[in-house]
C-alpha cells in the first residue's frame, strides 16, 4: 500500500509508492486522473521508483528503440523513449492546471523545481532551449540529469519526470534517450563523485516540486 501524506498548507496530496511496476503505476495514474477531473480527489503528486523498464512516448521513432528485442512499453505521454529503473526518482504530478493551455509553463516549473534540487546538492543544472528536462552543461557537451514527459487531458496532467539519483547509467546505452543522440546522460551520484541514496534526495524533491506545483495548479 502506498504511504499517503494529506495536504497541509497546499491543495496537493502526496502518495509515496516505493517500487512499483510501470503498468500498475500507469493504471493508478489513470484512476487518480479521473478522480481529479471529477473533482472528488485533490491534486496529487505520486513519487516512486520503477523496476527496470523502457517507455516510449508518442514521438518515438522505431530507430530510437532497442534493436535487440528488449521490450518497450508504448505510452500516451509526450516526448520520446527513456529508461526507468532503480536509483531513479519518478514523479507523476496529477494536477488541474491553473491555465490548461499553458503546458510549456507547467514544464518550465517542473524543470525549475528539479534544478533547485540539484542546486541544493551543489550541482549547477539548467534548462536547454529546445530540449525539455534538466541538464548539466560542460566543455565536453550537455548531460541530461532529469527527463520530463507530460500529457494533459481535460485540463489535468499525467506522467511527469524522472530524476537520475544513482542508477546504472548503462541502461541508457541501449537506446537514444529522449531521441537526443548528441548528448550524454548523467546522475546526481556521477556529478557529485560519490554514492547517494534515494532517501537523501527524496525530501528535496518533495519540497521543491510542491513549490513548483503550487504556482501552476488550480
State the SS3 of the chain: CCEEECCCCCCEEEEEEEECCHHHHHHHHHHHHHHHHHCCCCEEEEEEECCCEEEECCCCCHHHCCCCCCCCEECCCCCCEEEECCCEEEEEEECEECCCCCHHHHHHHHHHHHHHHHHHCCCCCEEECCEEEEEEEECCEEEEEEEEEEEEECCEEEEEEEEECCCCHHHHHHCCHHHCCCCEECCHHHHHCCCCCHHHHHHHHHHHHHHHHHHHEC
Catalytic residue, chosen from 178, 183, 201, 209, is 178
The CA-based dihedral angle spanning residues 21, 23, 24, 27, taken in that order and rounded to the nearest 10 degrees: 150
Q: At what angle do helices 198-216 and 103-120 cross, to 10 degrees?
A: 150
Asked about 178 being catalytic, the answer comes back as yes
Residue 57, Cα to own-chain centre: how many angstroms?
13
Phi and psi at residue 41, to the nearest 5°: -145, 145
Catalytic (active-site) positions: 178
Amino acid at each position: 500500500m502506498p504511504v499517503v501524506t494529506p495536504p497541509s498548507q497546499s491543495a496537493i496530496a502526496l502518495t509515496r509508492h516505493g517500487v512499483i511496476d510501470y503498468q500498475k503505476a500507469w493504471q493508478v495514474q489513470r484512476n487518480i486522473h479521473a478522480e481529479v477531473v471529477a473533482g472528488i480527489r485533490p491534486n496529487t503528486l505520486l513519487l516512486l521508483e520503477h523496476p527496470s523498464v523502457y517507455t516510449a512516448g508518442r514521438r518515438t521513432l522505431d530507430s530510437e528503440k532497442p534493436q535487440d528485442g528488449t521490450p518497450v512499453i508504448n505510452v500516451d505521454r509526450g516526448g520520446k523513449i527513456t529508461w526507468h529503473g532503480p536509483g531513479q526518482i519518478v514523479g507523476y504530478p496529477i494536477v488541474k492546471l491553473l491555465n490548461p493551455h499553458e503546458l510549456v509553463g507547467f514544464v518550465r516549473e517542473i524543470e525549475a523545481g528539479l534544478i533547485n534540487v540539484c542546486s541544493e546538492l551543489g550541482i549547477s543544472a539548467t534548462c536547454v532551449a529546445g530540449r525539455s528536462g534538466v541538464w548539466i552543461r560542460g566543455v565536453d557537451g550537455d548531460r541530461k540529469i532529469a527527463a520530463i514527459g507530460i500529457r494533459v487531458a481535460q485540463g489535468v496532467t499525467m506522467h511527469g519526470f524522472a530524476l537520475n539519483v544513482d542508477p546504472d547509467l548503462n541502461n541508457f546505452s541501449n537506446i537514444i534517450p529522449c531521441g537526443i543522440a548528441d548528448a550524454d546522460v548523467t546522475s546526481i551520484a556521477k556529478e557529485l563523485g560519490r554514492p547517494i541514496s534515494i532517501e537523501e534526495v527524496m525530501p528535496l524533491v518533495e519540497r521543491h516540486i510542491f513549490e513548483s506545483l503550487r504556482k501552476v495548479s488550480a
